[in-house]
């Protein structure tokens, strides 16, 4: 009798497990567990909170396990998708072997696992996780729980980090958070939302002196408000509205590769002895100088190379001679290699084409492309979640009411 009951319980347990495994929501739940852990440790690593290598490695292992199960058990891919994934996988392995960077491989897992996940939810989770950790770091730095690194920029005043490793990194968090928030609002953007964006830009400039991020935040507030006013028929004639939409449906896919080519070309032909070049490099805060040094000392490689960089983040004392590639395009080109830079640009281009009718997505990518000329956060999950739109389910909008209608499954 006892053995019979045990068999019945075991059968019920197996049935329950099978029911859970057969439920499509289980695959999505696995994605959220992995994504929250991976993004969480990414954002946490940019703060002045104590860092644990063991916990970080454990979370990454859980991330790989969750995403692996989601991909293998809950997704189906077309032959073209499989070919693209295999090609990207070979490139990621090549960079891992040649340059010892595992980030491309982790990104590949995350992008593939995001297939059919609503992109709206990805942005919502990103806003929640990043916002919570950054607010916690800000409050902790104000209460002296962790250090608020303050850098003396002489005539530019004191630059505050507010619990983040560097003032520009704090500014970058604010920038990516603002454009993600604006993207999510879409047609619901009002004047007071843009006023919040303008205020954020002014505060970032005043207390962090992160000029590029402050400028990009202000630019985002103006662009999203203007775009919403024109597309929403609140500004301009119908002809202006049609022209605006046609321009942005085509412009979004072009901005990033054009700026990448321009940034790399300027770096390659930079001449430190020329006064005109020196003035331009001063405006770009020595981005051209250090990029040219990397070109000269390391050269270009197909699958990248490991480059030791010394930045100002995390401490008031420089841990050696400063050398850092801030421009995302030059950084990826030199560290991940020529092939992966092309792959990254193609992925963003594909995401723009896939979302070409969503003007708010085009605004976000254009702003990110501009910011990446100066900042190195293009392929950093702690900051930029927009590349996940490659396989995630599109957010379809109602142009007249500004609400999401449905999700287009990839």
Q: What is the pLDDT of residues 16-41, one digit of tens each?
A: 444 555 566 788 999 999 999 999 99
Beta bridge partners of 323: 310
Count CB-CB contacts under 10 A for residue 90: 12
Whole-number percent of the chain with pLDDT over 70: 89
Inform me whether the pLDDT recorded for 406 exceeds 60.
no
Per-residue exposure over 266-287, b if at least 16 CB sit within 10 Å of its own CB, e if not: bbeebeeeeeebeeebeebeeb
Band (160; pLDDT cuts 50, 70, 90)? very high
Q: Which residue has the tokens 């490099």?
A: 281
pTM given for the model:
0.90
- Give Cβ neighbours of residue 71 (< 8 Å, ≥ 6 apart): 109, 112, 113
User: Which is more confidently placed, 169 or 1?
Assistant: 169
Distance (Å, rounded) from C-alpha 379 to C-alpha 19? 37
Distance (Å, rounded) from C-alpha 41 to C-alpha 220? 27
Of the ranges 17-21, 134-138, 314-318, 369-373, which one carries the lowest mean pLDDT score? Answer: 17-21
Residue 103 has what pLDDT?
92
**Using the 8-state DSSP alphabet, how is residue 163 labeled?**
T
Count CB-CB contacts under 10 A for residue 64: 17
CA atoms within a 13 Å half-sphere pointing along the CA-CB vector of 50: 4
The answer as to whether 13 is a domain residue is no
Instruction: State the residue range of the domain holding 127.
Output: 25-405
The answer as to whether 390 is a domain residue is yes
Distance (Å, rounded) from C-alpha 75 to C-alpha 115? 8
The answer as to whether 356 is a domain residue is yes
The answer as to whether 119 is a domain residue is yes
Distance (Å, rounded) from C-alpha 181 to C-alpha 177? 6
Give the count of domains, the chain.
1
Residue 19 has what pLDDT?
55
The answer as to whether 123 is a domain residue is yes
The answer as to whether 30 is a domain residue is yes
Cβ burial, residue 77 (10 Å; 0-12/13-18/19+): middle
Report the run of H or E that residue 86 belongs to, with start and end.
helix 79-99
Task: Tell me what the mean pLDDT of segment 197-218 comes to.
Answer: 93
Inform me whether the pLDDT recorded for 410 exceeds 60.
no
Band (4; pLDDT cuts 50, 70, 90)? low
pLDDT digits (tens, 9 = 90+) for 60-92: 999 999 999 999 998 888 899 999 999 999 999
Q: Residue 394 corresponds to which tokens in the numbers above?
A: 């599109």
The answer as to whether 274 is a domain residue is yes
**Using the 8-state DSSP alphabet, how is residue 317 labeled?**
S
Distance (Å, rounded) from C-alpha 130 to C-alpha 182? 15
Contact indicator for 173, 384 with CB cutoff of 8 Å: no
Residue 157 CA: distances (Å) to CA of 107, 152, 154, 265: 38, 6, 5, 33
The answer as to whether 12 is a domain residue is no
Contact indicator for 27, 75 with CB cutoff of 8 Å: yes
Contact indicator for 264, 333 with CB cutoff of 8 Å: yes
């Amino acid at each position: 009798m006892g053995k019979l009951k045990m068999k019945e319980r075991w059968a019920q347990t197996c049935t329950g497990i099978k029911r859970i495994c057969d439920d499509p929501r289980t695959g999505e739940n696995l994605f959220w567990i992995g994504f929250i852990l991976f993004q969480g440790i990414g954002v946490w690593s940019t703060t002045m909170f104590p860092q644990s290598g063991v916990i970080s490695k454990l979370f990454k292992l859980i991330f790989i396990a969750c995403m692996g199960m989601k991909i293998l058990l809950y997704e189906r891919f077309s032959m073209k998708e499989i070919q693209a994934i295999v090609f990207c996988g070979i490139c990621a392995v090549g960079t891992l072997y040649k340059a010892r960077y595992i980030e491309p491989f982790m990104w590949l897992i995350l992008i593939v696992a995001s297939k059919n996940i609503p992109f709206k939810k990805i942005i919502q989770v990103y806003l929640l996780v990043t916002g919570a950790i950054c607010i916690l770091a800000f409050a902790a730095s104000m209460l002296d729980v962790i250090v608020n690194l303050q850098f003396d920029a002489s005539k530019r005043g004191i630059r505050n980090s507010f619990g983040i490793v560097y003032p520009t990194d704090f500014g970058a968090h604010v920038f990516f958070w603002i454009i993600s928030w604006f993207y999510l609002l879409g047609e619901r953007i009002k004047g007071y939302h843009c006023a919040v964006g303008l205020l954020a830009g002014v505060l970032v400039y005043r207390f962090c002196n992160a000029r590029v991020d402050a400028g990009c935040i202000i630019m985002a507030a103006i662009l999203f408000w203007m775009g919403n006013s024109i597309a929403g028929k609140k500004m301009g004639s119908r002809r202006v509205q049609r022209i605006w939409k046609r321009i942005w449906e085509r412009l979004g896919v072009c901005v990033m590769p054009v700026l990448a080519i321009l940034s790399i070309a300027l770096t390659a032909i930079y001449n430190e002895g020329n006064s005109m070049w020196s003035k331009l490099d001063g405006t770009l805060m020595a981005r051209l100088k250090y990029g040219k040094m990397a070109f000269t000392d390391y050269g270009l490689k197909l699958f990248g190379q490991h480059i030791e960089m010394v930045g100002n983040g995390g401490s008031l004392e420089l841990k050696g001679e400063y050398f850092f590639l801030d421009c995302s395009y030059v950084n990826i080109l030199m560290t991940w290699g020529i092939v992966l830079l092309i792959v990254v640009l193609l992925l963003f281009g594909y995401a723009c084409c896939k979302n070409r009718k969503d003007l708010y997505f085009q605004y976000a990518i254009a702003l990110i492309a501009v910011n990446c000329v100066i900042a190195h956060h293009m392929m950093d999950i702690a900051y930029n979640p927009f590349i996940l739109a490659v396989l995630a389910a599109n957010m379809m909008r109602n142009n007249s009411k500004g609400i999401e209608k449905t999700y287009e499954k990839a």
